[in-house]
Structures are given as C-alpha cells and as structure tokens.
Amino acid sequence: MSRRRHSDEGDAGSQPHKRRRTSEPIEIEDRLESLICRVGEKSTSSLESNLEGLAGVLEADLPNYKGKILRILCAVARLLPEKLTVYTTLVGLLNARNYNFGGEFVEAMIRQLKETLKSNLYSEALYLVRFLNDLVNCHVIAAPSMVAMFENFVSVTQEEDIPQVRSDWYVYAVLSSLPWVGKELYEKKDVEMDRLFNQIEGYLKYRQKTHVPMLQVWTAEKPHPQEEYLDCLWAQVQKLKKDRWQERHILRPYIAFDSVLCEALQHNLPPFTPPAHSDDAVYPMPHVVFRMFDYTDAPEGPVMPGSHSVERFVIEENLHCIIKSHWRERKTCAAQLLSYPGKNKIPLNYHIVEVIFGELFQLPSPPHIDVMYTALLIELCKLQPGSLPQVLAQATEMMYMRLDTMNTICIDRLINWFSHHLSNFQFRWSWDDWADCLTQDIEKPKPKFVKEVLEKCMRLSYHQRIVDIVPPSFSALIPANPVCSYKYEEETECPLPGLAMATTVSNAIKNRASNEEILIVLKDVPNPNQDDDDDEGDGFNPLKIEVFLQTLLHLAAKSFSHSFSALAKFHEVLKNLTDSDEGKLHILRVLYEFWRNHPQMISVLVDKLIRTQIVDCAAVANWIFSPEMAHDFTRFYVWEILHSTIRKMNKHVQKIQKELDEAKEKLEKQQNKKVEKQIFLTAETLLFKPHIREHKDDMEKNSEDEEGQLEEQIERLQEKVESAQSEQKNLFLVIFQRFIMLLTEHLVRCETSGVDINTTWYKNCIERLQQIFLMHHVIIQQYMGTLENLLFTAELDHHILAVYQQFCALQL
C-alpha cells in the first residue's frame, strides 16, 4: 500500500515545484520506514538475504538518515514485538558494520525504556526489555551488563511500601525475557543468575494471591487449572532451566549470521535504575492464564506444547502481540495469525482459538472491544474453511460442557459471541447435541445459557425463525414472542379501575391533545393510595401513571422509533407524573409490566427515560433490586440494563468534568493574555501611542468582564461536577447496599435451615456483585474510603467481604 502524502485541503495540484524540491528526503524516509517495517514478511528471497540486503542499505544511509533510522528501529522494537528476533538480527548486523551506531541505538533504547516506564506504558516497556535481551544473543549487548540490569529489576522486590503490582512487573520483565536469552545469560553468568533465581523464588512464595479467584474464568481446577500468570511463567522457566535452556520454537535469524556477529564488539548497558514508585503510577493488573486446550484435544497433526512448556508461553505471547498490532484490520489480523512462523510444528488453529477466547474472557475486560473478536473469528473461518470452523465448534462444545463452573461475566460474553456468530451462519447448530440441558432445572447454567442464546438470536432475527431452528424438544427454552401486554385491552367481566380513563386518554392522544390537555384529563384519575382528600391531586398516583403510560406505550408499540417519539412528545406529562422517587420507580414497573415479553424494548426505553431525565439512575437500580423484579433477577438483560445505566452515569460525570477543565484552561489562557496585554500596554505604547491609552480602559474592562463570566461559569460547573459525583457515589452505594441485603438474607436463611449456601442463585448473585467491581473498578476506586466505612465493614458476612477484599487486591 503506497502512502502518498495528501496535499493540504484546497491545495490540490498547486505549487508542484515546491513539492518536488522537498519531497525527496520525505520519500526516502517513507521508503526507509516501509523497508524496515516490511522485512520479515513473505518474500521470494530468504529472510537472511533480505536482512543482509537491508543492513547494507541502512548502513549506506546512516550518514544522512541516522536519526530517522534510529527512531524507526526504536519504534519497531516497541510496537512489533512479534517480529522481535528479525529486528534484533538487523541491529546486530548494523552493529557489526558500525560500532558507534550500535552504541547509539542502545542508548536510545534505554532512553525509550525510561520514558515508557514513566508514562505507564508497561507492555511496551516489556517489549523493549525483551528486545534488549535478545540483543545479547546478537552480540550487541554484553551479557554481564544485562545480568546487572536484571539484578536491579529484582531488587525492586526489596522496596518497602510499594504496591505488589510494581514488583510483580519487574519480576515478570526478567522471567519473560528468559526464553529468549536464558541460555546465553546462564552460560556467561550462572552464579549471578542462580542468585537471582533464588530471590525470585522467595518473592513468588510470599506474594499475595487474594486476587486470583476474581480473575479466573472457571472456578474448577479440572481439566485445566486457571493459573496466576506469574506462577505459570515461573513453572515454565523452571522447566526450561531443567532442560538446560534448550528452546526450539523461537525463530532466531541471528544464528545464520553467527560468524559475522561474533566478530562484533559488544556494548555495555549503562546501569539502569528502575524509576521510583510514584502515586500516579498505574501498573498492569495481574491476570490469570487462560487455557482450554491440551495435547489431547488436537485429534491429528502436531501436538500442542504442554501448559508449562516455554513454547506455549512464546506462542501465546506472539499471537497476543499480532492481535495487538492488527486488531483494527480484521482481514490482515487473520492473515497474520494464520501465517505464524513455525506453524507447521504446532496445532496453530487451536492456539489461535485459545488465545482469542482468552482475550474475550479476560477479566476485568478484554483488551479490545468484544465485537472485534467475533469479526476476527469470522475472517479466520473464511480463510481456513476446512479446518477452523471445526476447531471453533469443538471449543464451543467444550465451553458448554464446562458452564457449571464458568464465571457469569464470561458466560455473558460467550452468549453474545455465540449468538452473533450464529447469526452470520444461518443459525446452523447441532442443538440436539445439547439435549441434556432439557432435563435440568431451567435456572441451571446449561439450560439458562441456551435460553439466553436463543433470546439474543431472536433479537438478531425474529421469533418464528428461532422456533424453526431448534428441535421441538427445545420449546421450553424458546424466548417469549416479544408482544406487548396491554392491561386495558378488552372488556372483561370485572373491568379494571382506570379502564374508562384509559380509553379517554387514548382518544385524547389520537386527537393530538397537548401535554396540558392530557394533564387535565388525568386529574380525574382517582388515587388508590389516598384516603383523605388531596385537593391538588399532585401526589404520587400509581393509577395515573399506569393509565397514561400503558395507553401511550400501546399506541406507540409499533417500533422503537414510535415509542421514542411518544416519550418525547409527552415528556412534560411524564415529568409531572414522576416528580417523586415513588413515581420514578412506578413508571419503571409499568414499563416492565407492559413490555415484559420484549426485554430489548425495556432496555431501550429505560435508556431513553434516563437520557430524557424522566427517571434517574438510582431509580433504575432500585427497580432492578425490587421484589417485583426478583423473578427476572438472573436474566442477562437485567444486568445489561444496570451496567448501561452505570456507564451513562460515568459518562455524564466525565462530560461535565471535561467542560470544567476546558473552562479552567480558557480562564488560564485569558489570564495569561491579560498579563501579556498589560506588559504591552505599560511598556512603550503608553508613551508613544496615545490612542491605545484611550482604549486601554475599555480593553481592560472587556477582559475583566470576560474573566468574570468565565469565573462564574467555572463556579457553576464546579457545583455541577460535585453534584454529579455525589449522584454517582450514591448510585454505587445503592447498588452495593442492595446486594449486601439480598446476599445476607440468603446466607442467613441457609444457615438457619442448615442448607448449603451454594445454590445456583447464589453463585449468580455473588458473581454479579463481582461484576460491578470489575466492570467499573476505576470509578469505584475513588469511593473506596466510603465503601469501607459504610458498607464493607468487618461485621459483614465473610463470603461477601471476600469479594471486596479480592477487588482491593487487584491494585495492591
């Protein structure tokens, strides 16, 4: 793909001479970038000859383009970790030809490493460390100086009062480089390396692992334990050490150049002190290694490397890096994954599927947006139609079998992925294979999963389609036909209170009544809650709400747009009816009653009600936890609504905060300008430019007015931010409080009747509580103090408190 520089807007074709004169260096720089980025890709020549050729070209260009070449090489080291050894070989060749360049490169890399660490770019820093390590293999960096850097890294474990995630990262940086460089470092400095090993072992033994249960996709140890990432890597490195660092998976182009490279002079790494810990450092969160396949799963062909083999680690790292580099371009990403070097020796499709699901199910969140993984898997199926779909089906089957111990959040994501995937393949699936779920209680994970999948499939198609695609035996799991339930529909023997009013309101709306007119009509609705006379009739009147909303929704039931229009048109009436908290709660109840067969409609209407400020976020939270919703409490759509509500609240706070920051910036700029103006005015001009003296007073007054307005605006925004944050904190408090109440009730009931607490409902509920923490951890961290003082105190049942403690452990 050629990247021609696009001329500026409106400049098309003009000044061609200028372009020609200045374009040459730019074109050469682009060319250099392209050459360097593309080396290692499919080519008619061998990788070795390409590297040799490129080294020659770059060496020749060093006199004129050294700076650019240095920057490009530093960038590929940071951004293309999957091609690590290709670029370290290239640097090795350049160093052999030009010792000074090698030295400058190493210096630039160290500078870059410091910057990435200071900027909280820990994954990039990791790639840089690995790159530096592989440069030892290419005779660019002397092994003893690398070991010295490692010693400084490991000494971070001795620092006091630091978060565990800090020392974790430095240990991880050492361990994760060893597959590449362990052999070389041990050959040169085995005593020092053994000492390091002992230190690391000691650290790993005593570090806290409270966070692990919260991050595991499955709670079961079988068939694959969900290991904490450092534990797994330690086991892999130990095995590698036992195998005397024999590692055959990593592609090492530098081996072919050994005779050239070993003639090169090496550089010593300057002593590197890890930057000190600061409060605004954000270290990577710990994670759990996702495994779903082992050597028994690939029926034929190459065997899958074991879970503690270093090959497994390297393959997974590289596949993750490829996705990280190419996630925006799904076709390229799929192609790059499938052309992984060394793919003939491993069951690549299985690795790819495992890595992709590992990312999709990663807790707290996947590295990329969920829908990307669906699109990527579809592209992979297109490129490997004879093999990948089968692996995917096998994976789906396996995950279905293990639903009983799968984390609820991951089940949600599985439901979304599977239904979306099916919708791209005519919903073809061997449902009969899952007939075992039909004999289970419908709340159990397997039938629940199937039910939720079918509901999502229906949203992407229509009810009859779902009836057609599943066997008749599955009818109990088919979602309800998404029709509305109008309570004032027919004349029955005992007409409902409000039936007559409903007809009146309906006619009024059909006759294009205004908001005021509707309110007048509604005044006549009796209030079943009130015994004494309420002259104004303005208090909370549930019947009024029911009559109006049921009728309105009924008239607008045709589509989302119709319903949105209706809500917009009668916004005034709705605001009037929901003036109180009870009113807000009741409107949600009525909405639910009317649309209970159409959860999707409920979701979009709740969203609209919040956005138009007819209900607030806390009302939605209270409604979800209300006894009326107990029946649907474990249904997926309810949690989608709650999390969507929390996100809206968060975005609202962010928006106002941004407005405040922008206003403050504006004021600062204004004040700076004022100072400049004053300097301008007082310096010479007062003496030499009398007309400015006249206008000086006006100018000063104008700028004062502007400043005054800005300051007022800032004050208002400040109040707005505080009020929004207060609302946000309150929302989380309400949610957590309700969870605690529900869970405590259950735990107490079980204890008093001697029943096991671990019911299906309990697992679901406690994992939903975990989900609140995980999905919104950044915001919740702001309110930890309040949460600990008010809610998550030592008096709480330890089952509930454990969730809170695991959450705290995520950033310790």
Q: Which residues bind other proteins (CB under 8 A)?
A: 1, 3, 9-10, 30, 33-34, 37-38, 71-72, 74-76, 79-80, 111-112, 115-116, 325, 328-330, 369-372, 374-375, 378, 416, 420, 423-424, 426, 456, 459-462, 559-561, 564, 600-601, 604, 607, 644
Nearer to other proteins by C-beta: 365 or 461?
A: 461
What's the min distance (Å) between Cβ of 14 and other proteins?
Answer: 14
> DSSP 3-state assignment of 141?
strand
Tracing tokens 């916004």 back to the chain, one arrives at 571
Taking the C-alpha atoms of residue 325 and residue 293, their distance in angstroms, rounded to an integer, is 25
List Cβ neighbours of 737 (8 Å cut-off, separation of 6 or more). Answer: 791
Tracing tokens 């091609």 back to the chain, one arrives at 83
List Cβ neighbours of 95 (8 Å cut-off, separation of 6 or more). Answer: 101, 102, 105, 138, 139, 140, 264, 265, 267
Pair 774, 214: CB distance under 8 Å: yes
Pair 806, 214: CB distance under 8 Å: yes
Nearer to other proteins by C-beta: 456 or 589?
A: 456
Nearest of 90, 103, 14, 16 to residue 57 by alpha carbon: 90
What's the min distance (Å) between Cβ of 151 and other proteins?
Answer: 26
Nearer to other proteins by C-beta: 98 or 112?
A: 112
What's the min distance (Å) between Cβ of 375 and other proteins?
Answer: 4
Nearer to other proteins by C-beta: 76 or 154?
A: 76
Nearer to other proteins by C-beta: 59 or 607?
A: 607
What's the min distance (Å) between Cβ of 176 and other proteins?
Answer: 22
Nearer to other proteins by C-beta: 37 or 338?
A: 37
Taking the C-alpha atoms of residue 591 and residue 602, their distance in angstroms, rounded to an integer, is 7
What's the min distance (Å) between Cβ of 202 and other proteins?
Answer: 35
What's the min distance (Å) between Cβ of 372 and other proteins?
Answer: 5
What's the min distance (Å) between Cβ of 124 and other proteins?
Answer: 10
Q: Given its phi and psi angles, is residue 245 left (phi above 0), alpha (psi -120 to 50 degrees) or beta?
A: left
Nearer to other proteins by C-beta: 61 or 370?
A: 370
Dihedral sign computed on CA atoms, order 600, 605, 606, 607:
positive
What's the min distance (Å) between Cβ of 333 and other proteins?
Answer: 11
Nearer to other proteins by C-beta: 211 or 421?
A: 421
Nearer to other proteins by C-beta: 423 or 744?
A: 423
Nearer to other proteins by C-beta: 329 or 712?
A: 329
List Cβ neighbours of 114 (8 Å cut-off, separation of 6 or more). Answer: 275
Q: Given its phi and psi angles, is residue 762 left (phi above 0), alpha (psi -120 to 50 degrees) or beta?
A: alpha
What's the min distance (Å) between Cβ of 92 and other proteins?
Answer: 21
Taking the C-alpha atoms of residue 476 and residue 467, their distance in angstroms, rounded to an integer, is 11
Question: Which structure tokens are listed for 666?
Answer: 């504006």
Strands (E), 631-787: none
DSSP assignment string, 382-430:
HH-TTTHHHHHHHHHHHHHHTGGGB-HHHHHHHHHHHHHHHHTTTT---
What's the min distance (Å) between Cβ of 723 and other proteins?
Answer: 22
Instruction: Give the count of alpha carbons within 13 A of 677, CB side only.
Output: 18
